[in-house]
C-alpha cells in the first residue's frame, strides 16, 4: 500500500500490474481489503495460477477493489498433459475458477501451449475443443497459443527421459545455453497445427466461429466437399485432422 501511494504521488497514474509470476490468493485478498478499507481507488491486474482458492466470493471482493483482469496458464488443455507437466490444476478446476472471475466482471486471459512432449494431434484438437467451450461458456475472453520450447535447466531439459523425448546435441554455445532441440517419437506436425490454433483463437476472441467444428480452422479442410481445385490439390500434402473426442457439453457439465 505504501508503494502504491508513492507511485500515484510520483506519476499521477492509478493503473497497476502486479508482476508476480503467480500472485497468491491470500495476498490478493489482503490487498483488496486494504484498498477498500482505505478507500483507495485504483485499477489493477496480475498473473495468477487458476487455484481453487479463487472462489466466487473472493473474485467479487477483488473486483470491488479495482481488479479488472487476471492472466494464468491453462497450457495444454488436457488433464493428461497437465499432470505430466505437474501443473497442479485440471481443466475442470480452470473452468470453475475462470467462470468465477468472469461472473465478477474480471477479464480472464489464458496462456496456452502446444507442442508439449508426447502431445498427439488428437491431444491438440481435443485441447482446442475445450478452449472453444471455455470461450462459449464465458469463462475466458482472451488467450494466446505459445509453441512449447524445452529449456536446459527446466525439469524437461534435466530429465528428458521422464517426458519421452531425446535431447539433440547442443549447438556451439556462444553466449547462453537456454533453448534446446529435442526429438519426440510421437512425430506430431506441430507447425501445421499451430496455424489453425492461432486462427481459431483470433476468431474466438472476436466472438466468431464459436459454434463451428474445430477442424474447420485447419487448411485445407480435412473432409467435406471440395471448395476449389487449388485446395483439393493440396489435400494430400498436409496431415489429417482428427475428429475431437471431447463431449460437446463438457465445460457446461463442469460448471454445473
Range of the domain at 210: 2-148+188-255
**Residue 66 confidence (pLDDT) above 90:** yes
Is there a domain that residue 159 lies in? no
**pLDDT tens for each residue of 90-110:** 999 999 999 999 999 999 999
pLDDT of residue 170: 78
Q: Is residue 176 part of a domain?
A: no
Is the N-terminal amide bond of 220 cis, ω within 30° of 0?
Answer: yes
Average pLDDT, the chain: 91
Evaluate whether 91 touches 254 at the Cβ level (below 8 Å): yes
Q: Which of the four pLDDT bands, split at 50, 70 and 90, describes residue 220? A: low
30 in a structural domain: yes
CB 118 within 8 A of CB 109: no
pLDDT at 221 over 60: no
Q: Which CATH number does the domain housing residue 205 bear?
A: 3.80.30
Q: Is residue 34 part of a domain?
A: yes
Q: Give CA–CA dist 106/255, Å, rounded.
A: 18
Q: Identify the pLDDT of residue 239.
A: 61
Q: Does some domain include residue 160?
A: no
CB-based contact 80:119 (threshold 8 Å): no
Helices 91-103 and 121-136, packing angle to 10 deg: 20
For the chain, where are the E strands, in sequence order?
15-18, 43-48, 67-75, 107-114, 142-147, 150-151, 166-167, 179-180, 182-183
Question: Residue 67: inside a domain, yes or no?
Answer: yes
Minimum mean pLDDT range among 65-79, 90-104, 164-178: 164-178
Q: Strand 67-75 to strand 142-147: parallel, antiparallel, or no bridges (unpaired)?
A: unpaired
Question: What's the number of CA atoms in the CB half-sphere (13 Å) around residue 136?
Answer: 18
Residue 227 has what pLDDT?
37
C-alpha count within 13 angstroms, C-beta hemisphere, residue 101: 32
User: Cell numbers at residue 232, please?
Assistant: 483439393
> Between 175 and 97, whose confidence is greater?
97
pTM beyond cutoff 0.75: yes
Task: Report yes or no on 179 lying in a domain.
Answer: no
For residues 11-20, give the mean pLDDT.
Answer: 96
How much is the pLDDT for 219? 81
Total domains, the chain: 1
Bridge partners of residue 46, in order along the sequence:
18, 70
What value does the mean pLDDT take over residues 69-97? 96
Share of the chain above pLDDT 90, in %: 85
pLDDT tens sequence across 20-46:
999 999 999 999 999 999 999 999 999
pLDDT tens digits along 105-116: 999 999 999 999
Is 153 contained in some domain?
no
DSSP string, 158-209: H-GGGGT-EEPPPPPPSS---EE-EE-TT---HHHHHHHHHHHHHHHTTT-S
Cross-strand partners of 48: 72
**Structure confidence at residue 169 as a pLDDT band (50, 70, 90):** confident
Amino acid at each position: 500500500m505504501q508503494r502504491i501511494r508513492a507511485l500515484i504521488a510520483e506519476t499521477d497514474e492509478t493503473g497497476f500490474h502486479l508482476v508476480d509470476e503467480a500472485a497468491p490468493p491470500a495476498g490478493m485478498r489482503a490487498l483488496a481489503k486494504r484498498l477498500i478499507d482505505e478507500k483507495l481507488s485504483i485499477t489493477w491486474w496480475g498473473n495468477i495460477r487458476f487455484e481453487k482458492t479463487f472462489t466466487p466470493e473472493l473474485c467479487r471482493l477483488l473486483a470491488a477493489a479495482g481488479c479488472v483482469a487476471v492472466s494464468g496458464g491453462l497450457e495444454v488443455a488436457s488433464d493428461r498433459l497437465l499432470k505430466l507437466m505437474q501443473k497442479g490444476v485440471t481443466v475442470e478446476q480452470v473452468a470453475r475458477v475462470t467462470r468465477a472471475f468472469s461472473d465478477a466482471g474480471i477479464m480472464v486471459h489464458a496462456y496456452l501451449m502446444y507442442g508439449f512432449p508426447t502431445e498427439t494431434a488428437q491431444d491438440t484438437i481435443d485441447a482446442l475443443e475445450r478452449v472453444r467451450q471455455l470461450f462459449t461458456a464465458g469463462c475466458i475472453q482472451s488467450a494466446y497459443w505459445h509453441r512449447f520450447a524445452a529449456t536446459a535447466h527446466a525439469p524437461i531439459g534435466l530429465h528428458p527421459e521422464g517426458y519421452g523425448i531425446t535431447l539433440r546435441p547442443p549447438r556451439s554455445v556462444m553466449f547462453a545455453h537456454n533453448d534446446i532441440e529435442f526429438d519426440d517419437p510421437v512425430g506430431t506436425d506441430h507447425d501445421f497445427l499451430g496455424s489453425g490454433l492461432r486462427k481459431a483463437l483470433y476468431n474466438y476472441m472476436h466472438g466468431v466461429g464459436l459454434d463451428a467444428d474445430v477442424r474447420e480452422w485447419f487448411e485445407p479442410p480435412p473432409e467435406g466437399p471440395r471448395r476449389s481445385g487449388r485446395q483439393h490439390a493440396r489435400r494430400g500434402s498436409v496431415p489429417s485432422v482428427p475428429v475431437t473426442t471431447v463431449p460437446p457439453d463438457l465445460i457446461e457439465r463442469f460448471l454445473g
